[in-house]
């Protein structure tokens, strides 16, 4: 079994003050892909209502690494027809299987080690592609990436080996990136966290910082300083159809490699329940991803990380996570968002996300998201935005429901602004709304 086996739609999230901030309302043909950050995900056919306040995906780095794929950004993939999404009724975060997968005592990990740095600019990271742009060998990619990929075992429900996942070495200071849902309970309870490298070496890990909003965590691993950090690529420069390779420890099987293609980009994926909700502007892939792959790298053929594997889709009604397997629909957090969140965590121990201060609910006909409430003093209250307005586009891109709006807003950073296309009283017009920061 995985670290969680409670699956189902969780319709309500809470704000920082503990009050409900988001509600879900089913909409039978919502084409947004909702998932969940602990092996539980909403039915893809449901249309959640989400706070437009809390939303992600990071702006790509200003400087494109040498040798990266063509600079043209891939256009958003067309959404699937509404009739196909009822087939995907459960989206499961790729959590690890329960104890027994790996032997060995675990060492307690805390979240008080923030000796990291002044952010990603203060640590040695790799930007030059390890392999040439004309490389087509998955074997060559595997040889470069496997030494930097690790297995993570964390305490869950009092079990030392209750949850397993994956991660990768981010820099030369021993920082490892993984999913928040892999280590969330251990971090909250000061539980045990252990990292096992490609050579089978067991190392202790502490939590530098984590973000439930983006489902990311940064670990400080004693002994990982001598492991080679992976090169960072760009998800925004990937094109649909390009080959990608996934690394991790599915079902406790360490150092596993699978390959596939980029199936879609800019796929809105909703994960989690309540305050654990995450919204991902995901890279979709058909590379085989299974429970235990969570937190592992998704890389291009130049051995550069373009995403962090986080969720999978499964057919049928909700099932326990130990029966969930790959059906060729997996999702990864874009590396641009990973880099932004990691930088914030390394500098402050916390991560921030942008909000506009309004709650929205999707419409039954999937024509947009209606504004249900506006927080006094928020950016939304200062803009020409009113309760009852229908948001039909964000930054010029059509939205079909609340999750699309949230994901689009979270694609920005606090301090930036978004352009909302609204419908009110039969008129369509645009409103620019600023973004303020919240921690989470």
239 belongs to the catalytic site: no
**Separation between Cα atoms, residue 123 and residue 146, nearest integer Å:** 21
The CA distance from 241 to 136, in Å, is 14
Provide the phi-psi class of 218: left if phi over 0, else alpha when psi is between -120 and 50, else beta: beta
Q: Please, what is the Cα angle at 218 between 212 and 223, to 5 degrees? A: 155
Q: Per DSSP, what are the bridge partners of residue 166?
A: 151
Question: Which residues, including other chains, have CB under 8 Å from residue 365's CB and lie 6 or more apart?
Answer: none
CA-based nearest residue to 401, from 11, 31, 108: 31
Residue 335 in tokens: 């590396």
Backbone angles phi, psi at 82, to 5 degrees: -55, -30
Rounded Cα distance, 143 and 246, in Å: 13
From the candidates 89, 249, 294, 378, give the one annotated as an active-site residue: 294
| Cα–Cα dist 418/396, whole Å | 10
Q: Which residues contact 155 (CB under 8 A, 6 or more apart)?
A: 106, 161, 162, 163, 185, 186, 189, 191, 192, 193
Buried-state track 347-359, b at ≥16 Cβ within 10 A, e below 16? bebebbbbbbbbb
Phi, psi dihedrals of residue 233, rounded to the nearest 5° = -105, -140
The string of DSSP letters for 359-417 reads EEEE-TTSS-EEEEEE-TTSHHHHTT--TT-EEEEETTEE--SHHHHHHHHHTS-TT-E
Dihedral sign for Cα 348, 353, 355, 361, please. negative
Q: Which residue among the candidates 181, 249, 378, 403 is catalytic per the annotation? A: 181
**Which among 30, 171, 197, 215 is annotated as catalytic?**
215
Which pair of structure tokens corresponds to residue 227?
Answer: 């492991």
CA dist., res. 387 & res. 298, Å (int) = 41
Q: Examine the residue annotation and report whether 294 is marked as an active-site residue of this protein.
A: yes
> Which residues are identified as catalytic?
181, 215, 294
């Amino acid at each position: 079994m995985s670290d969680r086996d409670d699956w189902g739609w969780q319709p309500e999230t809470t704000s920082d003050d503990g009050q409900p901030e988001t509600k879900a309302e089913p909409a039978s043909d919502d084409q947004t892909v909702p998932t969940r950050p602990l092996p539980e995900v909403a039915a893809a056919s449901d249309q959640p209502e989400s706070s437009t306040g809390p939303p992600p995906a990071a702006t790509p780095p200003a400087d494109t690494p040498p040798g990266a794929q063509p600079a043209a950004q891939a256009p958003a993939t067309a959404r699937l027809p509404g009739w196909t999404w009822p087939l995907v009724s459960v989206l499961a975060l790729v959590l690890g299987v329960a104890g027994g997968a790996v032997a060995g005592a675990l060492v307690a990990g805390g979240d008080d080690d923030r000796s990291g740095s002044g952010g990603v600019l203060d640590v040695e990271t790799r930007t030059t592609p390890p392999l040439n742009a004309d490389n087509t060998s998955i074997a060559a990619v595997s040889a470069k990436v496997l030494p930097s990929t690790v297995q993570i075992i964390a305490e869950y429900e009092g079990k030392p080996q209750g949850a397993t996942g994956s991660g990768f070495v981010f820099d030369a200071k021993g920082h490892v990136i993984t999913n928040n849902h892999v280590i969330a309970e251990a971090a909250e309870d000061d539980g045990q966290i252990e990292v096992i490298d490609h050579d089978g070496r067991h190392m202790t890990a502490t939590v530098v910082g984590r973000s439930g909003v983006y489902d990311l965590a940064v670990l400080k691993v004693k002994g990982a300083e001598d492991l080679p950090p992976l090169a960072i690529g760009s998800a925004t420069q990937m094109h649909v159809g390009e080959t990608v390779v996934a690394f991790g420890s599915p079902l406790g099987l360490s150092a596993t490699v699978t390959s596939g293609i980029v199936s879609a980009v800019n796929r809105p994926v909703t994960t989690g329940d309540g305050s654990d909700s995450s919204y991902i502007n995901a890279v979709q892939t058909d590379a085989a991803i299974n429970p235990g792959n969570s937190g592992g790298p998704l890389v291009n053929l130049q051995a550069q990380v373009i995403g962090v594997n986080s969720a999978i889709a499964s057919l049928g009604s909700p099932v326990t996570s130990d029966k969930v397997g790959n059906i060729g629909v997996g999702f990864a957090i874009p590396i641009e968002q990973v880099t932004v969140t990691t930088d914030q965590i390394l500098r402050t121990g916390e991560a921030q996300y942008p909000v506009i201060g309004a709650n929205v609910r999707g419409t039954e006909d999937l024509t947009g998201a209606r504004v249900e409430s506006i927080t006094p003093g928020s950016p939304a209250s200062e803009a020409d935005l009113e309760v009852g307005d229908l948001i039909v586009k964000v930054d010029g891109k059509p939205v079909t429901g609340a999750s699309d709006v949230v994901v689009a807003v979270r694609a920005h950073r606090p301090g930036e602004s978004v352009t909302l296309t609204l419908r009110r009283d039969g008129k369509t017009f645009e409103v620019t709304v600023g973004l303020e920061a919240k921690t989470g």
